[in-house]
Amino acid sequence: MVLIQFYLQLSVLNRPKLDQATLLKGLMVFLFLMALPVLSIIWLKKIGRVSSWEMESRKERTVPFLLMLVFNTTLYGFLVYFDLFPELKNLLLLGGSLVAFALLVNLFWKISIHMIGLGSLASLVSYNGLGFHVFNVETNLLVVITCALVAAVLVAFSRYKLKAHNPAQIIAGWIAGFALTTFWLYIL
């Protein structure tokens, strides 16, 4: 879901002038993929369903993953029903499939959702290839891929150092994110 927020921010920054459609897109994405999930976790903490923001145990992650799927699906349905923002629909399907995968794996084993997201980002950056623009400036693909990989290494190291995941969970998360996104982009 962070990928969709990242995409939205880049699309907003790349527009010379903000229009109502861009602002509406930003509000919808913020509401369904940022505000509601954060409020849900606050509520889950309040009722004792999760003990901390880190959700250290595998069991604590199930309900937040399910809620994220509900928010993602609701936003997708809203976009389809009102025929809005076709460029977001595929990203929402991709994000939803990544969360669904994490949920299924989480039923049996704890996998790093951070690394799933970063593996997905690496695949998206590689797929987009040349012509990737940030702040209206054409960016060298090698620089962008290098930044994505450096970010992945730093996050992987921090997840390991914080004892949030073991190496297998970290590596499996990145590979799964990269593979699922690559499959999604090239096959579907």
CA distance 161 to 120: 22
| Contacts with 104 (C-beta within 8 Å, 6 or more apart), sequence order | none
Over the stretch 19-63, which tens digit does the pLDDT of each residue have?
A: 777 777 778 888 998 999 999 999 999 999 998 888 888 889 999
CA distance 173 to 61: 15
pLDDT for 131 beyond 60: no
Residue 35, SS3 per DSSP = helix
Query: Taking all residues of the chain, what is their mean pLDDT, rounded to a whole number?
Result: 83
Q: What are phi and psi of 137, to 5 degrees?
A: -120, 125
**Against a cut of 0.85, is the pTM above it?**
no
Q: Per the structure block, which two tokens stand in for 37?
A: 């999930």
Q: Where are the domains of the chain?
A: 1-110, 111-188
Tell me the chain's radius of gyration from C-alpha atoms: 17
pLDDT for 136 beyond 50: no
| H or E element in which residue 134 lies | strand 133-134
Check residue 41 and give its pLDDT: 93
pLDDT for 88 beyond 70: yes
Q: Which of 48, 46, 33, 15 is nearest to 133 (CA)?
A: 15
| Contacts with 1 (C-beta within 8 Å, 6 or more apart), sequence order | 33, 37, 68, 72, 95, 99
For 88, counting Cβ atoms within 10 Å of its Cβ (0-12 exposed, 13-18 middle, 19+ buried), the class is: buried
pLDDT for 128 beyond 80: no
